[in-house]
Structure 1
């Protein structure tokens, strides 16, 4: 179980709209950095910075495949984060709200 300090640090990450969006998208499947760049209309370094913060707190894990890095959710040990994410919209709703329903991956 996390200490109050550890839980506070993890919950602070959810206060950022971009990081909350990333975590919510990761509920359903893993995503490549290049896909998140397209979805969020951010630079690759910007997205990577958000992902680094999430990874540093143990909320996401990465898997390198060739030149691409894929991220997946890692909240099994943090049920309070998992609970918050259960109340977030699904990926389809997020993509629709961002006008990104038909994104195509360039990572392959």
Structure 2
């Protein structure tokens, strides 16, 4: 029963559109918080709150480089999340849906 409860809690996080969008972006590469702020048009504290939840459930890795924090997916041991993300768009398609370009590119 603990396995079901754990999976349910993690999958519940994916029910939030912003968190699911973040995971779609993370499918292809790691992202800096500053890039997510730019692409999602959400404040840095807002992005940090979403990332804190994903990190606390072991869905993302965090790496600090200077003043910036970079995130990457950590779903190798979560096949149920991998299965969901398999059907979600990757970075290019997600950015297109958001009508955005990769951070640093000119529109």
TM-score bracket, shorter-length normalisation: over 0.9
Per-residue CA shift, 1:12-51, capped at 9, x if unaligned?
Answer: 0010000001111111000000000011100000000000
Moved over 4 A (4+): none
Q: Specify the alignment match of 1:16 in structure 2.
A: 16
TM-score by length of 1: 0.92
Q: Specify the alignment match of 2:53 in structure 1.
A: 53
User: For structure 2, which runs of at least 5 residues remain unmatched after alignment?
Assistant: none
What displacement does 1:102 show?
A: 4.5
Q: Specify the alignment match of 2:72 in structure 1.
A: 72
After superposition, the Cα gap between the structure-2 partners of 1:11 and 1:102, relative to the gap in structure 1 and judged at 3 Å, is closer
TM-score by length of 2: 0.93
Per-residue CA shift, 1:42-88, capped at 9, x if unaligned?
Answer: 00000000000000000001000000000000001100001110110
User: For structure 1, which runs of at least 5 residues remain unmatched after alignment?
Assistant: none
> What is the total number of aligned residue pairs between the two structures?
104
Say yes or no: does 1:97 pair with 2:76.
no
